[in-house]
Structure 1
């Protein structure tokens, strides 16, 4: 009789241990999912000489939505010359362009891989810097001087 109770107690302890390990594993997985999720990219970014021109490129990220605008000196304070829209994929490693701008200079089609940091997003070798970073402020100031504004 004693061995039967011991076996039952041992099985119960093993079952409880397995359940605790499984619950711990789920908690760790959930935590890593939120902290390991994609970087918060919301904001406005700029690049000089977009698509090999002397124009200013602007990228605005809101959640997974991306809009890309190209400005000439006259257009930067009004309507952009070229606009495209797209979405970030789940892990924010690519932009999938959904609507290309009507301008023939627009190169934003299909999907493009991106690399991100706290202050920039790189697309096809061009680094777009966050507008409120030192590099972003310097770029905008230089563009304003160039445009005489």
Structure 2
């Protein structure tokens, strides 16, 4: 009878461990961000930012956003303007928390956004993901322009 009890106990333990593991997986899957944070992570670009020939760069990491502006003299070295902000809860707006020093900086308050798999539009300006075809073409064009 002891053998039967030991087998029953082991079987119950195995079932319990499997149930705990399954529950853990379900909780882990459900504990992912419900507001979509992370799905937009990446680097995005727009040309002629703020009516200049500068390149606008938007870097998204979770709910944090940083915006940089580059001119030909400082491309990929030091941005001429930097601002930081965060997405609101439903990621329909960016709330700018720190504005850059440049007087042309329009990144203050909050701005409405629209998103797709390859772009983020901020107040009507479409920033394209750097690894998309449009993003690669935009960066190549900016680099070519800056070599002149």
Query: What is the TM-score with the length of structure 2 in the denominator?
Result: 0.75
Q: Which residue of 2 aligns with 1:55?
A: 54
Give the superposition deviation at 1:77: 2.4
Give the 3 Å change call, closer, same or farther, for CA 36–86 of structure 1 in structure 2: closer
Q: Does 1:64 align with 2:63?
A: yes
2-side partners of 1:146 and 1:119: how far apart? 24
In the alignment, structure 1 segments of 5+ residues that lack a partner are 1-26
Q: Secondary structure at the match of 1:141?
A: helix
Matches within 5 A, 1:67-86: 67-86=66-85
C-alpha spacing 1:72/1:35, structure 2 compared with 1 (3 Å): closer
Equivalence for 1:11? none
Tell me how large the CA RMSD over aligned residues is.
2.0
- Deviation, structure 1 residue 111: 0.2
Contact 2:48–2:54 under 8 Å retained in 1: yes
Structure 1 runs (4+) deviating above 6 angstroms are 33-36
| 1:44 equivalent in structure 2 | 43
2:125 corresponding residue in structure 1: 126
TM-score w.r.t. structure 1 length?
A: 0.75
Q: Is 1:104 paired with 2:97?
A: no
Q: Which of the two has greater helix per residue?
A: 1
Distance 1:50 1:99 in 2: 18
Q: Structure 2: where are the runs of 5+ without partners?
A: 1-25
Judged with a 3 Å threshold, the aligned counterparts in structure 2 of structure 1 residues 92 and 147 are, in CA distance, closer, same or farther, namely same
